[in-house]
Structure 1
Amino acid sequence: MNVRTGAPSTDYAALRRDPEYAGLNRALLDLVPVGSGPAVLDLGCGDGAVSEQLLLRDAAMSLVGVDPDAALLDAARARLGDRARFVEGDASAVARLFRPDAFDVVVLANCIHLVPDLAEALDAIGEVLVGGGRLVFNSAFYAGAESGADLPLYAELVAGARRAARERGLPLAGSAAGRPAGLRRTAGDYRAALAGAGFTDVATAEREFTLGPRFLTALCATPMFATAALPGVDRHTAAELLTASLEKQYECAPFTITRRCVYFSATRP
Protein backbone atom coordinates (compact mmCIF):
# COMPACT_ATOMS: atom_id res chain seq x y z
CA MET A 1 0.00 0.00 0.00
CA ASN A 2 1.54 3.30 -1.05
CA VAL A 3 1.10 6.03 1.56
CA ARG A 4 3.22 8.67 -0.15
CA THR A 5 1.57 11.93 -1.16
CA GLY A 6 4.68 13.47 -2.70
CA ALA A 7 8.07 14.36 -1.29
CA PRO A 8 8.04 15.16 2.45
CA SER A 9 7.71 18.92 2.93
CA THR A 10 9.18 18.93 6.48
CA ASP A 11 6.71 21.58 7.58
CA TYR A 12 3.19 21.69 8.99
CA ALA A 13 1.29 22.60 5.81
CA ALA A 14 0.47 19.03 4.82
CA LEU A 15 -0.65 18.21 8.36
CA ARG A 16 -3.01 21.19 8.40
CA ARG A 17 -4.68 19.99 5.21
CA ASP A 18 -5.66 16.71 6.84
CA PRO A 19 -9.39 16.70 7.75
CA GLU A 20 -8.73 15.16 11.19
CA TYR A 21 -6.21 17.87 12.03
CA ALA A 22 -8.58 20.57 10.80
CA GLY A 23 -11.18 19.17 13.16
CA LEU A 24 -8.77 19.47 16.08
CA ASN A 25 -8.26 23.13 15.25
CA ARG A 26 -11.98 23.81 14.96
CA ALA A 27 -12.52 22.37 18.44
CA LEU A 28 -9.88 24.78 19.78
CA LEU A 29 -11.28 27.81 17.97
CA ASP A 30 -14.70 27.03 19.45
CA LEU A 31 -13.17 27.94 22.83
CA VAL A 32 -12.24 31.47 21.70
CA PRO A 33 -14.79 34.13 22.71
CA VAL A 34 -16.04 36.24 19.80
CA GLY A 35 -17.87 39.53 19.58
CA SER A 36 -17.10 43.06 20.79
CA GLY A 37 -13.85 43.13 18.78
CA PRO A 38 -11.57 41.33 21.24
CA ALA A 39 -7.80 41.82 21.19
CA VAL A 40 -6.37 38.36 20.45
CA LEU A 41 -2.79 37.10 20.61
CA ASP A 42 -2.08 34.06 18.41
CA LEU A 43 1.05 32.78 20.12
CA GLY A 44 3.13 30.38 18.03
CA CYS A 45 1.21 31.58 14.99
CA GLY A 46 3.55 30.06 12.39
CA ASP A 47 2.49 31.05 8.89
CA GLY A 48 -0.79 32.56 10.08
CA ALA A 49 -3.12 29.70 9.16
CA VAL A 50 -4.90 29.73 12.55
CA SER A 51 -4.76 33.53 12.61
CA GLU A 52 -6.71 33.50 9.36
CA GLN A 53 -9.32 31.14 10.81
CA LEU A 54 -9.70 33.36 13.87
CA LEU A 55 -10.33 36.41 11.69
CA LEU A 56 -12.86 34.50 9.60
CA ARG A 57 -14.80 33.78 12.79
CA ASP A 58 -14.69 37.39 14.00
CA ALA A 59 -13.51 39.99 11.50
CA ALA A 60 -13.83 42.70 14.16
CA MET A 61 -11.11 41.26 16.37
CA SER A 62 -7.72 42.96 16.67
CA LEU A 63 -5.21 40.16 16.11
CA VAL A 64 -1.47 39.97 16.74
CA GLY A 65 0.58 36.88 15.89
CA VAL A 66 3.89 35.98 17.53
CA ASP A 67 6.37 33.34 16.40
CA PRO A 68 10.15 32.87 16.75
CA ASP A 69 10.57 31.92 13.07
CA ALA A 70 11.05 35.00 10.87
CA ALA A 71 10.42 33.07 7.65
CA LEU A 72 7.06 31.83 8.92
CA LEU A 73 6.12 35.36 9.95
CA ASP A 74 6.88 36.57 6.43
CA ALA A 75 4.47 33.92 5.16
CA ALA A 76 1.86 35.07 7.70
CA ARG A 77 2.19 38.68 6.54
CA ALA A 78 1.82 37.58 2.93
CA ARG A 79 -1.28 35.60 3.87
CA LEU A 80 -3.07 38.29 5.88
CA GLY A 81 -1.56 41.65 4.90
CA ASP A 82 -2.82 44.43 7.15
CA ARG A 83 -5.60 42.30 8.65
CA ALA A 84 -3.21 41.35 11.49
CA ARG A 85 0.13 42.38 12.94
CA PHE A 86 3.00 39.91 13.37
CA VAL A 87 5.91 40.13 15.79
CA GLU A 88 8.98 37.92 16.17
CA GLY A 89 9.35 36.36 19.62
CA ASP A 90 8.50 33.37 21.78
CA ALA A 91 6.08 32.66 24.60
CA SER A 92 8.41 33.75 27.39
CA ALA A 93 9.05 37.11 25.65
CA VAL A 94 5.48 38.36 25.34
CA ALA A 95 5.62 40.38 28.58
CA ARG A 96 8.56 42.31 27.08
CA LEU A 97 6.92 42.70 23.68
CA PHE A 98 3.54 44.02 24.84
CA ARG A 99 2.15 46.24 27.55
CA PRO A 100 0.31 44.70 30.52
CA ASP A 101 -3.36 43.88 29.94
CA ALA A 102 -2.92 44.14 26.16
CA PHE A 103 -5.09 41.16 25.17
CA ASP A 104 -8.50 39.74 25.91
CA VAL A 105 -7.58 36.28 24.61
CA VAL A 106 -4.34 34.34 24.10
CA VAL A 107 -4.40 31.29 21.82
CA LEU A 108 -1.71 28.62 21.45
CA ALA A 109 -2.79 26.24 18.70
CA ASN A 110 -0.96 22.91 18.63
CA CYS A 111 2.28 24.33 19.99
CA ILE A 112 2.23 24.41 23.82
CA HIS A 113 4.34 21.22 23.84
CA LEU A 114 7.13 23.16 22.09
CA VAL A 115 7.38 25.71 24.94
CA PRO A 116 10.52 24.76 26.92
CA ASP A 117 9.79 26.62 30.18
CA LEU A 118 6.07 26.35 30.76
CA ALA A 119 6.00 28.24 34.09
CA GLU A 120 7.90 31.19 32.62
CA ALA A 121 5.64 31.30 29.58
CA LEU A 122 2.42 31.18 31.63
CA ASP A 123 3.65 33.98 33.88
CA ALA A 124 4.41 36.11 30.81
CA ILE A 125 1.03 35.32 29.25
CA GLY A 126 -0.70 36.26 32.50
CA GLU A 127 0.94 39.69 32.38
CA VAL A 128 -0.38 40.56 28.92
CA LEU A 129 -3.92 39.24 29.54
CA VAL A 130 -6.56 41.54 30.98
CA GLY A 131 -8.27 40.54 34.18
CA GLY A 132 -10.92 38.03 33.18
CA GLY A 133 -9.07 37.33 29.94
CA ARG A 134 -8.94 33.83 28.51
CA LEU A 135 -6.05 31.54 27.65
CA VAL A 136 -6.87 28.62 25.37
CA PHE A 137 -4.54 25.95 24.05
CA ASN A 138 -4.44 22.37 22.84
CA SER A 139 -1.93 19.62 22.21
CA ALA A 140 -1.96 16.14 20.71
CA PHE A 141 1.63 15.60 21.88
CA TYR A 142 1.73 14.81 25.59
CA ALA A 143 2.36 11.79 27.76
CA GLY A 144 -0.81 9.74 27.61
CA ALA A 145 -1.96 10.94 24.19
CA GLU A 146 -1.08 7.60 22.62
CA SER A 147 -3.11 4.44 23.01
CA GLY A 148 -1.03 1.75 24.73
CA ALA A 149 -2.07 -0.73 22.06
CA ASP A 150 -0.63 1.53 19.36
CA LEU A 151 2.76 2.18 20.98
CA PRO A 152 4.42 -0.75 19.13
CA LEU A 153 3.38 0.84 15.82
CA TYR A 154 5.13 4.10 16.75
CA ALA A 155 8.14 2.13 17.97
CA GLU A 156 8.47 0.20 14.71
CA LEU A 157 8.02 3.36 12.64
CA VAL A 158 10.93 5.05 14.42
CA ALA A 159 13.02 1.87 14.62
CA GLY A 160 12.73 1.30 10.88
CA ALA A 161 13.83 4.85 10.14
CA ARG A 162 16.75 4.58 12.56
CA ARG A 163 17.88 1.31 10.96
CA ALA A 164 17.86 3.00 7.55
CA ALA A 165 19.82 5.95 8.97
CA ARG A 166 22.49 3.63 10.36
CA GLU A 167 22.71 1.82 7.02
CA ARG A 168 23.46 5.19 5.42
CA GLY A 169 26.09 5.94 8.04
CA LEU A 170 24.18 8.96 9.33
CA PRO A 171 25.23 10.38 12.74
CA LEU A 172 22.31 9.44 15.00
CA ALA A 173 22.28 11.01 18.44
CA GLY A 174 20.79 9.26 21.48
CA SER A 175 17.05 8.81 21.22
CA ALA A 176 16.26 11.15 24.12
CA ALA A 177 18.51 14.02 23.03
CA GLY A 178 16.19 15.49 20.46
CA ARG A 179 12.91 14.96 22.35
CA PRO A 180 11.45 18.26 23.57
CA ALA A 181 10.62 18.28 27.28
CA GLY A 182 7.06 19.29 26.40
CA LEU A 183 6.40 15.91 24.82
CA ARG A 184 6.89 14.30 28.24
CA ARG A 185 4.29 16.49 30.00
CA THR A 186 0.96 15.04 31.04
CA ALA A 187 -2.44 16.71 31.02
CA GLY A 188 -2.04 16.89 34.80
CA ASP A 189 1.23 18.77 34.38
CA TYR A 190 -0.60 21.44 32.39
CA ARG A 191 -3.34 21.71 35.01
CA ALA A 192 -0.73 22.09 37.75
CA ALA A 193 1.20 24.71 35.78
CA LEU A 194 -1.96 26.77 35.18
CA ALA A 195 -2.80 26.66 38.88
CA GLY A 196 0.77 27.62 39.77
CA ALA A 197 0.58 30.64 37.46
CA GLY A 198 -2.65 31.78 39.15
CA PHE A 199 -5.13 30.93 36.39
CA THR A 200 -8.65 30.02 37.46
CA ASP A 201 -11.79 28.49 35.91
CA VAL A 202 -9.63 25.85 34.28
CA ALA A 203 -11.67 23.67 31.93
CA THR A 204 -10.16 20.72 30.13
CA ALA A 205 -11.35 18.09 27.69
CA GLU A 206 -9.80 15.30 25.68
CA ARG A 207 -10.85 14.25 22.21
CA GLU A 208 -9.91 11.07 20.37
CA PHE A 209 -8.99 11.18 16.70
CA THR A 210 -7.75 8.73 14.12
CA LEU A 211 -4.39 8.88 12.36
CA GLY A 212 -4.76 7.28 8.96
CA PRO A 213 -2.08 7.02 6.26
CA ARG A 214 -2.42 10.63 5.09
CA PHE A 215 -2.18 12.03 8.60
CA LEU A 216 0.77 9.81 9.51
CA THR A 217 2.65 10.73 6.34
CA ALA A 218 2.14 14.43 7.09
CA LEU A 219 3.17 13.91 10.73
CA CYS A 220 6.42 12.23 9.69
CA ALA A 221 7.33 15.34 7.70
CA THR A 222 6.92 17.83 10.55
CA PRO A 223 10.13 19.22 12.05
CA MET A 224 9.05 18.31 15.59
CA PHE A 225 8.40 14.63 14.86
CA ALA A 226 11.29 14.17 12.43
CA THR A 227 13.95 15.69 14.69
CA ALA A 228 12.61 13.98 17.82
CA ALA A 229 12.58 10.56 16.14
CA LEU A 230 16.02 10.88 14.51
CA PRO A 231 18.03 13.41 16.52
CA GLY A 232 21.26 14.39 14.85
CA VAL A 233 19.90 13.73 11.34
CA ASP A 234 18.98 16.61 9.03
CA ARG A 235 15.22 17.03 9.39
CA HIS A 236 14.56 16.73 5.65
CA THR A 237 16.43 13.43 5.56
CA ALA A 238 14.72 12.32 8.77
CA ALA A 239 11.32 12.99 7.22
CA GLU A 240 12.28 11.00 4.15
CA LEU A 241 13.42 8.02 6.25
CA LEU A 242 10.32 8.08 8.44
CA THR A 243 8.02 8.23 5.42
CA ALA A 244 9.82 5.26 3.85
CA SER A 245 9.56 3.32 7.12
CA LEU A 246 5.84 4.06 7.31
CA GLU A 247 5.35 2.84 3.76
CA LYS A 248 7.06 -0.45 4.59
CA GLN A 249 4.75 -0.93 7.58
CA TYR A 250 1.69 -0.34 5.43
CA GLU A 251 2.90 -2.84 2.85
CA CYS A 252 2.96 -5.49 5.59
CA ALA A 253 -0.36 -4.61 7.23
CA PRO A 254 -2.38 -1.39 6.81
CA PHE A 255 -3.40 0.20 10.11
CA THR A 256 -4.74 3.30 11.80
CA ILE A 257 -3.68 4.81 15.11
CA THR A 258 -5.93 6.29 17.77
CA ARG A 259 -4.63 9.35 19.59
CA ARG A 260 -6.00 11.96 21.97
CA CYS A 261 -5.84 15.75 21.91
CA VAL A 262 -6.21 17.73 25.13
CA TYR A 263 -7.85 21.18 25.29
CA PHE A 264 -7.54 23.80 28.01
CA SER A 265 -9.36 27.03 28.69
CA ALA A 266 -8.42 29.17 31.70
CA THR A 267 -9.05 32.64 33.08
CA ARG A 268 -6.66 35.24 34.38
CA PRO A 269 -8.27 36.56 37.61
Structure 2
Amino acid sequence: MNARLNARLDGAQPSTDYAALRRNREYAGLNRVLLDLVPAGSGPAVLDVGCGDGAVSEQLLQRDPTMALTGVDPDPELLGAARARLGDRARFAEGDASSVARLFPAGSFDTVVLANCIHLVPDLAGAFAAIGQVLTAGGRLVFNSAFYAGAETPADLPLYAELVGTARRTATARGLSLARSAGGRPAGLRRTADDYRAALEVAGYAGAVAAERTFTLGPRFLAALCSTPMFASAALPGIGRHQAAELLTETLTQLYERTPFTISRRCVYFTATRP
Protein backbone atom coordinates (compact mmCIF):
# COMPACT_ATOMS: atom_id res chain seq x y z
CA MET A 1 0.00 0.00 0.00
CA ASN A 2 1.51 3.32 -0.96
CA ALA A 3 1.88 6.21 1.48
CA ARG A 4 -0.87 8.30 -0.16
CA LEU A 5 -3.49 5.57 0.18
CA ASN A 6 -2.18 4.55 3.58
CA ALA A 7 -2.91 8.05 4.84
CA ARG A 8 -6.42 7.96 3.40
CA LEU A 9 -7.25 4.52 4.79
CA ASP A 10 -5.62 5.03 8.19
CA GLY A 11 -7.91 3.60 10.84
CA ALA A 12 -10.22 1.95 8.30
CA GLN A 13 -9.16 -1.66 8.80
CA PRO A 14 -11.79 -4.37 8.25
CA SER A 15 -13.88 -4.86 11.38
CA THR A 16 -16.82 -6.95 10.02
CA ASP A 17 -19.32 -4.64 11.72
CA TYR A 18 -20.47 -1.04 11.46
CA ALA A 19 -17.81 0.43 13.77
CA ALA A 20 -15.53 1.65 10.99
CA LEU A 21 -18.45 3.28 9.19
CA ARG A 22 -19.68 4.98 12.37
CA ARG A 23 -16.18 6.40 12.94
CA ASN A 24 -15.83 7.64 9.38
CA ARG A 25 -15.83 11.46 9.22
CA GLU A 26 -17.43 11.57 5.80
CA TYR A 27 -20.24 9.30 6.95
CA ALA A 28 -20.69 11.53 9.99
CA GLY A 29 -21.13 14.42 7.59
CA LEU A 30 -24.11 12.65 6.04
CA ASN A 31 -25.66 12.31 9.49
CA ARG A 32 -25.03 15.93 10.51
CA VAL A 33 -27.49 17.05 7.85
CA LEU A 34 -30.06 14.76 9.50
CA LEU A 35 -29.40 16.22 12.95
CA ASP A 36 -30.22 19.67 11.61
CA LEU A 37 -33.75 18.38 10.92
CA VAL A 38 -34.38 17.41 14.56
CA PRO A 39 -36.56 20.13 16.14
CA ALA A 40 -35.13 22.03 19.08
CA GLY A 41 -37.45 22.61 22.00
CA SER A 42 -37.85 22.90 25.72
CA GLY A 43 -36.84 19.51 27.05
CA PRO A 44 -38.13 17.42 24.13
CA ALA A 45 -38.45 13.65 24.47
CA VAL A 46 -36.42 12.06 21.66
CA LEU A 47 -36.14 8.40 20.65
CA ASP A 48 -33.02 7.35 18.72
CA VAL A 49 -33.95 4.10 16.97
CA GLY A 50 -30.99 1.96 15.86
CA CYS A 51 -28.77 3.97 18.19
CA GLY A 52 -25.85 1.53 17.98
CA ASP A 53 -23.03 2.59 20.28
CA GLY A 54 -24.66 5.94 20.99
CA ALA A 55 -22.55 8.10 18.67
CA VAL A 56 -25.54 9.93 17.16
CA SER A 57 -27.29 9.99 20.56
CA GLU A 58 -24.27 11.84 21.92
CA GLN A 59 -24.41 14.37 19.08
CA LEU A 60 -28.11 14.94 19.73
CA LEU A 61 -27.40 15.68 23.39
CA GLN A 62 -24.55 18.00 22.50
CA ARG A 63 -26.94 19.99 20.34
CA ASP A 64 -29.66 20.11 22.99
CA PRO A 65 -28.62 19.02 26.51
CA THR A 66 -32.20 19.59 27.74
CA MET A 67 -33.68 16.71 25.74
CA ALA A 68 -34.82 13.50 27.39
CA LEU A 69 -33.10 11.00 25.14
CA THR A 70 -33.84 7.29 24.80
CA GLY A 71 -31.87 4.94 22.55
CA VAL A 72 -33.08 1.61 21.16
CA ASP A 73 -31.01 -1.05 19.41
CA PRO A 74 -31.33 -4.84 18.98
CA ASP A 75 -27.64 -5.48 19.77
CA PRO A 76 -26.91 -5.80 23.53
CA GLU A 77 -23.17 -5.26 22.99
CA LEU A 78 -23.74 -1.98 21.20
CA LEU A 79 -26.19 -0.87 23.90
CA GLY A 80 -23.49 -1.57 26.48
CA ALA A 81 -21.14 0.70 24.56
CA ALA A 82 -23.84 3.38 24.38
CA ARG A 83 -24.42 3.22 28.13
CA ALA A 84 -20.68 3.50 28.74
CA ARG A 85 -20.54 6.50 26.42
CA LEU A 86 -23.48 8.44 27.85
CA GLY A 87 -24.02 7.17 31.39
CA ASP A 88 -27.11 8.68 32.98
CA ARG A 89 -27.53 11.32 30.27
CA ALA A 90 -29.78 8.89 28.37
CA ARG A 91 -31.72 5.69 28.89
CA PHE A 92 -31.57 2.67 26.63
CA ALA A 93 -33.70 -0.34 25.75
CA GLU A 94 -33.13 -3.43 23.64
CA GLY A 95 -35.38 -3.60 20.61
CA ASP A 96 -35.88 -2.57 17.02
CA ALA A 97 -38.10 -0.15 15.13
CA SER A 98 -41.05 -2.54 14.98
CA SER A 99 -40.98 -3.22 18.73
CA VAL A 100 -41.02 0.34 20.09
CA ALA A 101 -44.81 0.30 20.63
CA ARG A 102 -44.33 -2.63 23.02
CA LEU A 103 -41.45 -0.95 24.81
CA PHE A 104 -42.95 2.49 25.48
CA PRO A 105 -46.39 3.96 26.24
CA ALA A 106 -48.32 5.65 23.45
CA GLY A 107 -47.35 9.25 22.79
CA SER A 108 -44.05 9.04 24.70
CA PHE A 109 -41.86 11.00 22.27
CA ASP A 110 -41.88 14.34 20.51
CA THR A 111 -39.35 13.17 17.89
CA VAL A 112 -38.18 9.78 16.63
CA VAL A 113 -34.86 9.62 14.76
CA LEU A 114 -33.44 6.82 12.62
CA ALA A 115 -29.92 7.87 11.66
CA ASN A 116 -28.85 6.02 8.51
CA CYS A 117 -30.36 2.70 9.52
CA ILE A 118 -33.80 2.71 7.86
CA HIS A 119 -32.43 0.45 5.09
CA LEU A 120 -31.77 -2.22 7.74
CA VAL A 121 -35.44 -2.29 8.82
CA PRO A 122 -37.05 -5.37 7.22
CA ASP A 123 -40.70 -4.57 8.00
CA LEU A 124 -41.08 -0.94 6.98
CA ALA A 125 -44.88 -0.86 7.38
CA GLY A 126 -44.70 -2.40 10.85
CA ALA A 127 -41.92 -0.03 11.90
CA PHE A 128 -43.74 3.11 10.74
CA ALA A 129 -46.93 1.95 12.46
CA ALA A 130 -45.12 1.25 15.75
CA ILE A 131 -43.26 4.56 15.64
CA GLY A 132 -46.53 6.38 14.98
CA GLN A 133 -47.94 4.93 18.20
CA VAL A 134 -45.13 6.24 20.41
CA LEU A 135 -45.06 9.72 18.82
CA THR A 136 -47.12 12.50 20.33
CA ALA A 137 -49.79 14.14 18.16
CA GLY A 138 -47.83 16.50 15.94
CA GLY A 139 -44.59 14.64 16.72
CA ARG A 140 -41.98 14.28 14.04
CA LEU A 141 -40.28 11.27 12.45
CA VAL A 142 -36.85 12.01 10.97
CA PHE A 143 -34.72 9.54 9.04
CA ASN A 144 -32.11 9.30 6.30
CA SER A 145 -30.31 6.76 4.17
CA ALA A 146 -27.34 6.70 1.84
CA PHE A 147 -28.17 3.08 0.95
CA TYR A 148 -31.18 2.97 -1.36
CA ALA A 149 -31.91 2.53 -5.05
CA GLY A 150 -30.45 5.63 -6.64
CA ALA A 151 -27.82 6.37 -3.98
CA GLU A 152 -24.96 5.42 -6.31
CA THR A 153 -24.44 7.80 -9.20
CA PRO A 154 -24.34 6.18 -12.67
CA ALA A 155 -20.76 7.37 -13.22
CA ASP A 156 -19.57 5.40 -10.17
CA LEU A 157 -21.39 2.13 -10.86
CA PRO A 158 -18.46 0.70 -12.88
CA LEU A 159 -16.17 1.25 -9.87
CA TYR A 160 -18.45 -0.74 -7.58
CA ALA A 161 -18.71 -3.47 -10.22
CA GLU A 162 -14.94 -3.61 -10.63
CA LEU A 163 -14.39 -3.70 -6.88
CA VAL A 164 -16.77 -6.61 -6.35
CA GLY A 165 -15.81 -8.46 -9.53
CA THR A 166 -12.08 -8.28 -8.83
CA ALA A 167 -12.56 -9.37 -5.22
CA ARG A 168 -14.62 -12.35 -6.36
CA ARG A 169 -12.00 -13.41 -8.89
CA THR A 170 -9.30 -13.12 -6.22
CA ALA A 171 -11.37 -15.22 -3.83
CA THR A 172 -11.83 -17.93 -6.44
CA ALA A 173 -8.12 -17.90 -7.33
CA ARG A 174 -7.32 -18.47 -3.65
CA GLY A 175 -9.58 -21.50 -3.47
CA LEU A 176 -12.45 -19.83 -1.61
CA SER A 177 -15.95 -20.98 -2.53
CA LEU A 178 -18.51 -18.31 -3.27
CA ALA A 179 -22.16 -19.13 -2.62
CA ARG A 180 -24.81 -18.39 -5.18
CA SER A 181 -26.62 -15.21 -4.15
CA ALA A 182 -30.32 -16.02 -4.36
CA GLY A 183 -31.83 -12.73 -3.30
CA GLY A 184 -29.66 -10.16 -5.05
CA ARG A 185 -29.40 -6.85 -3.23
CA PRO A 186 -30.93 -6.83 0.28
CA ALA A 187 -34.52 -5.59 0.28
CA GLY A 188 -33.64 -2.35 2.07
CA LEU A 189 -31.16 -1.42 -0.64
CA ARG A 190 -33.77 -1.94 -3.35
CA ARG A 191 -36.13 0.64 -1.84
CA THR A 192 -36.43 3.99 -3.57
CA ALA A 193 -37.16 7.40 -2.10
CA ASP A 194 -40.67 7.02 -3.51
CA ASP A 195 -41.07 3.73 -1.64
CA TYR A 196 -40.37 5.52 1.64
CA ARG A 197 -42.78 8.31 0.75
CA ALA A 198 -45.53 5.81 -0.09
CA ALA A 199 -44.96 3.84 3.13
CA LEU A 200 -45.26 7.02 5.19
CA GLU A 201 -48.54 7.87 3.47
CA VAL A 202 -49.96 4.39 4.05
CA ALA A 203 -48.95 4.59 7.73
CA GLY A 204 -50.90 7.84 8.10
CA TYR A 205 -48.09 10.37 8.43
CA ALA A 206 -48.65 13.90 7.18
CA GLY A 207 -46.45 16.53 5.58
CA ALA A 208 -43.73 14.17 4.40
CA VAL A 209 -40.80 16.12 2.97
CA ALA A 210 -37.88 14.47 1.21
CA ALA A 211 -34.60 16.01 0.12
CA GLU A 212 -31.65 14.39 -1.63
CA ARG A 213 -28.09 15.62 -1.30
CA THR A 214 -24.98 14.42 -3.13
CA PHE A 215 -21.72 13.99 -1.23
CA THR A 216 -18.21 13.49 -2.58
CA LEU A 217 -16.54 10.70 -0.64
CA GLY A 218 -13.03 9.30 -0.59
CA PRO A 219 -11.66 5.75 -0.37
CA ARG A 220 -11.82 5.74 3.44
CA PHE A 221 -15.62 5.80 3.21
CA LEU A 222 -15.60 2.93 0.73
CA ALA A 223 -13.16 0.97 2.91
CA ALA A 224 -15.44 1.44 5.91
CA LEU A 225 -18.42 0.37 3.80
CA CYS A 226 -16.54 -2.79 2.73
CA SER A 227 -16.26 -3.78 6.39
CA THR A 228 -19.99 -3.81 7.06
CA PRO A 229 -21.87 -7.13 7.13
CA MET A 230 -24.40 -5.66 4.68
CA PHE A 231 -21.79 -4.99 1.98
CA ALA A 232 -19.28 -7.79 2.66
CA SER A 233 -21.91 -10.55 2.75
CA ALA A 234 -23.67 -9.33 -0.39
CA ALA A 235 -20.43 -8.83 -2.34
CA LEU A 236 -18.80 -12.15 -1.38
CA PRO A 237 -21.58 -14.52 -0.27
CA GLY A 238 -20.48 -17.73 1.37
CA ILE A 239 -17.21 -16.29 2.68
CA GLY A 240 -16.81 -15.29 6.31
CA ARG A 241 -17.49 -11.60 6.81
CA HIS A 242 -14.05 -10.84 8.22
CA GLN A 243 -12.27 -12.52 5.31
CA ALA A 244 -14.66 -10.92 2.82
CA ALA A 245 -13.96 -7.47 4.29
CA GLU A 246 -10.20 -8.08 4.06
CA LEU A 247 -10.47 -9.14 0.41
CA LEU A 248 -12.60 -6.13 -0.49
CA THR A 249 -10.27 -3.70 1.27
CA GLU A 250 -7.24 -5.31 -0.39
CA THR A 251 -8.93 -4.93 -3.77
CA LEU A 252 -9.87 -1.33 -3.00
CA THR A 253 -6.22 -0.59 -2.21
CA GLN A 254 -5.11 -2.02 -5.53
CA LEU A 255 -7.72 -0.03 -7.45
CA TYR A 256 -6.74 3.21 -5.74
CA GLU A 257 -3.02 2.66 -6.31
CA ARG A 258 -3.76 2.21 -10.00
CA THR A 259 -6.09 5.22 -10.34
CA PRO A 260 -6.83 7.48 -7.35
CA PHE A 261 -10.55 8.24 -7.12
CA THR A 262 -13.42 9.73 -5.20
CA ILE A 263 -17.04 8.64 -5.42
CA SER A 264 -20.30 10.56 -5.33
CA ARG A 265 -23.18 9.22 -3.28
CA ARG A 266 -26.66 10.53 -2.71
CA CYS A 267 -28.34 10.58 0.67
CA VAL A 268 -32.09 11.04 1.10
CA TYR A 269 -33.54 12.80 4.14
CA PHE A 270 -37.17 12.52 5.27
CA THR A 271 -39.27 14.33 7.82
CA ALA A 272 -42.92 13.53 8.49
CA THR A 273 -45.48 14.33 11.17
CA ARG A 274 -47.95 12.25 13.09
CA PRO A 275 -51.33 14.03 12.73
Bin for the TM-score computed over the shorter chain: over 0.9
Partner of 1:211: 217
Percent of pairs identical after alignment? 75
Match for residue 247 of structure 2 among 230, 237, 241: 241
Distance (whole Å) between structure 1 residues aligned to residue 107 and residue 222 of structure 2: 40
Q: Contact 1:191/1:202 (CA < 8 Å) preserved in 2?
A: yes
Moved more, 177-186 or 57-66: 177-186
SS of 2:230's partner is helix
Could you give the per-residue CA deviations for residues 26-61 of structure 1, whole angstroms, max 9, x where no partner exists? 100001011211111100000000000011111111
Letter in 2 for 1:64: T
Could you give the per-residue CA deviations for residues 52-95 of structure 1, whole angstroms, max 9, x where no partner exists? 00111111111111111111011001101111111111111111
Partner of 1:38: 44
Partner of 2:193: 187
Per-residue deviation, 1:176: 4.8
In structure 1, list runs of 5 or more residues that go unmatched. Answer: none
Distance (whole Å) between structure 1 residues aligned to residue 217 and residue 251 of structure 2: 16
Per-residue deviation, 1:243: 0.2
Distance (whole Å) between structure 2 residues aligned to residue 223 and residue 12 of structure 1: 8
Letter in 1 for 2:48: D
Could you give the per-residue CA deviations for residues 144-188 of structure 1, whole angstroms, max 9, x where no partner exists? 111111101001111111112222333322235473200000000
Per-residue deviation, 1:9: 2.1
Moved more, 19-28 or 133-142: 19-28
Letter in 1 for 2:28: A
Distance (whole Å) between structure 2 residues aligned to residue 104 and residue 51 of structure 1: 15
RMSD across aligned positions (CA): 1.4
TM-score for both structures, normalised by structure 2? 0.93
Matches within 5 A, 1:130-141: 130-141=136-147
Distance (whole Å) between structure 2 residues aligned to residue 27 and residue 267 of structure 1: 18
Partner of 1:149: 155
SS of 1:52's partner is helix
Distance (whole Å) between structure 1 residues aligned to residue 162 and residue 64 of structure 2: 44
Letter in 2 for 1:5: D
Q: How many residues align?
A: 269
Per-residue deviation, 1:268: 0.4
In structure 2, list runs of 5 or more residues that go unmatched. Answer: none
SS of 1:194's partner is helix
Q: Does 1:173 align with 2:173?
A: no
Q: Contact 1:112/1:137 (CA < 8 Å) preserved in 2?
A: yes
Could you give the per-residue CA deviations for residues 202-240 of structure 1, whole angstroms, max 9, x where no partner exists? 111011001212111111112222122122221111110
Match for residue 72 of structure 1 among 68, 72, 78: 78
Partner of 2:33: 27
